[in-house]
Structure 1
Amino acid sequence: MEAIVLYPTTAIGHLIAMVELGKLLLTSKPSLSIHILMTTAPYDAGDTAPYFAAVSASTPSIAFHNNLPLISLPPELSTASAHVENLIFEVLNLSKPNVSQALLFISQTHTIHAFVIDFFCGSTLAVSADDHHIPSYIFFTSAAAALALFLYLPTFHETIPKSLKDLNNNAPLHVPRLPPIPPLDMPKHYLDRHDKAYKYFLESSIHTSRSNGIIVNTFEPLEPRAAKAIETGLCITSHSTPPIYCIGPLILTREKKDSEFECLK
């Protein structure tokens, strides 16, 4: 059988978007088998079992692999004091051997055409591309403007020796085709170059830029300037930009009145 393997983070917004991506893939090719690898959240992520059960019942071509082994975090990384993002990155990094085994297991009965991973899982690209030679794509669950900024982070790192939090807030930063951004308005994890979260996001940005393609949860007419900046290679300055695919917005559909969510129509 032909298969595509998806690997989301445990954050519920990322997880739901990834499942919706699986549904979208099946509308294009119903014969596909979609396999979603699941790590255990290093925090209380709530009860997602009913959601998984509902998806499995309505879309049997989507299989959830909830059997990845539990990860023991290093003692120095206290779940009480660490940022949630740091915990997620740490679990995903430590889960790479388990992901490799899962890909090997699925490949025994399926032909895996692609491995699509959340941008938090960027370090896992080496597992799929180098160890299993599977075309690997990053799914960026946010907007194109956020992706442009994310991809430009290594350029800021190379060209600005200070942490962004230490810059003059009256001298805005410039990302190609985006409005000027005061340094303190940047995402909080980009502000301190000595912070562990910054290093994680920087590494993830570099991995993303070297994937086989980047899937973005937006549509191009909504963000034409940002999408064009990425597609034309303005946001990755060290090498060529992988193909960009705008496929959103992918949201969880619910029963709603006709008057609701007019903007999404």
Structure 2
Amino acid sequence: MKKNSIVLYPSPGQGHLLSMVELGKLLLHHNPSFSITIFITSLPSKTNSSTAAYINRVSTTTPISFYHLPLISLPMDPSSYPNIEIMVFDLLRLNNPNLEQALKTISHSSTIHSFIIDGFCTVAFDVAAHLDIPVYYYFTSGAAALATFLYFPTLHENTNQISFKDRRTNLDIPGLPPLLATDMPEPMLDRNKEAYHGFLDMCSHFRKAAGILVNTFEALEPRAIEAISLGLSVPEKLTPPVHYIGPVVVSDKPKNSGGEDCLHWVDSQPSCSVVFLCFGSLGVFSAAQLKEIAVGLERSGHRFLWVVGSPPTKDKIGRFLAPIEPDLETLLPDGFLDRVKGRGLVVKSWAPQVDILSLESVGGFVTHCGWNSVLESLCAGVPMVAWPLYAEQRLNRLLLVEEMKLAMPMEESREGLVMAAEVEKRVRSLMDSVEGKLLRERTLAMKDCAVAALSQGGSSHAALVELTQSWK
């Protein structure tokens, strides 16, 4: 008798893998009879011992199995690609023959009820569809971002060949506040670029899916969810079934050294007294910007924990080099570390974010607005200052500030820098002002809504039960 299997396919990158593993755990929790397999593919020349240890740990502690697809050699030097998105699309396209063989192999002993992919794996959609395997998307951002992506093909048709980067008026997307065109994800801004058409193809395939799983919950984004349910995001045809199953927060992450020291320091501070600044694995700043942040934090007078990565550097022909461990004495103002000693702590490159946010001493979070970080902060009841850097983060800032009222914005100068005065102002406002107090109260209330959504009878719990039962 064949097993009942679910196959998950994340695009390369630790963040994508971790989120898919957490989804696999959720599906097993709701139906332990499923067999869960996660396909693994890697970028060329990328090896990560902490990720390998993480996969081994998950394999030995859960009934999730991992299938490593063969390593693909790209037709050109990875640094020659115009951006990371194009390289990932190309890598996954070249992996399709291996993917097809892997799905056929699993199908010999199992009935694959669903093949769940993330957006970058859209190039695998037709492979599974050809094998009559239902394709679902796992959308790791929120409902408003999904509404934007679903509506993107309509925007493309209606903008008269004008790229969003050149548009001077707001975009009207059903379920969202008025959106600056330049707040769209960067690959969507220029229709003359290859990445634009990769995203257009991805968004068109979202509309063809057997279903879409979204990492959000109904109480957090009611307006966007209503627009999608009314069919406003896909006006030309039927919207696929959408299942809001969040918040899915990854707590079991690969560990780096040094996390225990900063955890102990933060935990020893008074209640709600520490501002935590962390900008994700890709969130790096110029040396000039790091100095502005340092001056602003010092002038604010507040306790802080700040995670600092090395500024991006290029080789002689303009290619970005791999990041190295930052030299804090060189990057930060002279004497800064001595002057803030005891009140502030600066750590290099990494800190255990989920663990830190859960501490009672943390009173605010300055974040790049990555959706995982947003949910982690919300689930810990910590209010935010929104400082977007890339991907859909500018869209997330708009929602957090204007729609959800769970964050205040960090404003850039005309030169593109956030100045020290702005950092000082936002830190003080978050920690001391009436506005900051109201943000904290709303965030704590939304934390309760998140708990309720995942509890027995909650909206996300019910969505997962309905979904897994449909696969039996």
Q: 2:40 aligns with which of 32, 38, 41?
A: 38
**Is the 1:11–1:45 Cα contact (8 Å) retained in structure 2?**
no
Helix, strand or coil for the counterpart of 1:111? strand
* Partner residue, 2:4: 2
Q: 1:19 aligns with which of 4, 18, 21?
A: 21
Cα distance in 1 for residues equivalent to 2:147 and 2:48: 31
Q: Provide Cα deviations, 1:42-99, integer angstroms capped at 9, x if missing partner.
A: 463633101101111110x200001x12222223x64244311111111111211111
* Partner residue, 2:72: 71
Tell me whether 1:134 sits opposite 2:137 in the alignment.
no
* Partner residue, 1:249: 247
* Partner residue, 1:262: 380
- Percent identity over the alignment is 46
Shift of 1:166: 1.1
TM alignment of 1:164-179, pairs within 5 A: 164-168=164-168, 171-179=169-177
RMSD value over aligned CA atoms?
1.8
**Is the 1:12–1:45 Cα contact (8 Å) retained in structure 2?**
no
Tell me whether 1:235 sits opposite 2:353 in the alignment.
no
Instruction: Give, as a single letter, the amino acid of the residue that structure 2 aligns with 1:71.
Output: I
* Partner residue, 1:117: 117
Instruction: Give, as a single letter, the amino acid of the residue that structure 2 aligns with 1:73.
Output: L
* Partner residue, 1:222: 220
Cα distance in 2 for residues equivalent to 1:128 and 1:55: 26
**Is the 1:42–1:79 Cα contact (8 Å) retained in structure 2?**
no
Q: Provide Cα deviations, 1:9-30, integer angstroms capped at 9, x if missing partner.
A: 1122221111111000001111
Shift of 1:258: 6.0
* Partner residue, 1:105: 105
Helix, strand or coil for the counterpart of 2:248? coil
Instruction: Give, as a single letter, the amino acid of the residue that structure 2 aligns with 1:124.
Output: A
Q: 1:51 aligns with which of 32, 49, 54?
A: 54
TM alignment of 1:153-172, pairs within 5 A: 153-160=152-159, 161-168=161-168, 171-172=169-170
Cα distance in 2 for residues equivalent to 1:82 and 1:153: 22
Runs of 4+ more than 6 Å apart: none
Q: Provide Cα deviations, 1:162-203, integer angstroms capped at 9, x if missing partner.
A: 1111111xx101100201111112111110001111111100
Instruction: Could you tell me which runs of 5 or more consecutive residues in structure 2 were left unpaired when the two chains were aligned.
Output: 253-353, 363-378, 382-446, 452-472
Instruction: Give, as a single letter, the amino acid of the residue that structure 1 aligns with 2:181.
Output: P
Cα distance in 2 for residues equivalent to 1:81 and 1:96: 20
**Is the 2:81–2:87 Cα contact (8 Å) retained in structure 1?**
no
Helix, strand or coil for the counterpart of 2:219? helix
Helix, strand or coil for the counterpart of 2:25? helix
- Which has the higher Rg, Structure 1 or Structure 2? 2
* Partner residue, 2:183: 185
Shift of 1:245: 0.3
**Is the 2:89–2:123 Cα contact (8 Å) retained in structure 1?**
no
Helix, strand or coil for the counterpart of 2:109? coil
Instruction: Could you tell me which runs of 5 or more consecutive residues in structure 1 were left unpaired when the two chains were aligned.
Output: none
Shift of 1:248: 1.2
**Is the 2:8–2:117 Cα contact (8 Å) retained in structure 1?**
yes
Report the CA distance shift for 1:24/1:140 in structure 2 as closer, same or farther (over 3 A): same
Helix, strand or coil for the counterpart of 1:219? coil
The normalised TM-score by structure 1 is: 0.92
Cα distance in 2 for residues equivalent to 1:43 and 1:238: 43
Report the CA distance shift for 1:159/1:42 in structure 2 as closer, same or farther (over 3 A): farther
Q: Which moved more, 1:93-102 or 1:81-90?
A: 81-90
Tell me whether 1:152 sits opposite 2:151 in the alignment.
yes
Cα distance in 1 for residues equivalent to 2:177 and 2:47: 35
**Is the 2:216–2:245 Cα contact (8 Å) retained in structure 1?**
yes
Cα distance in 2 for residues equivalent to 1:79 and 1:228: 42
Cα distance in 2 for residues equivalent to 1:134 and 1:117: 12
Instruction: Give, as a single letter, the amino acid of the residue that structure 2 aligns with 1:69.
Output: P
Cα distance in 1 for residues equivalent to 2:47 and 2:178: 35
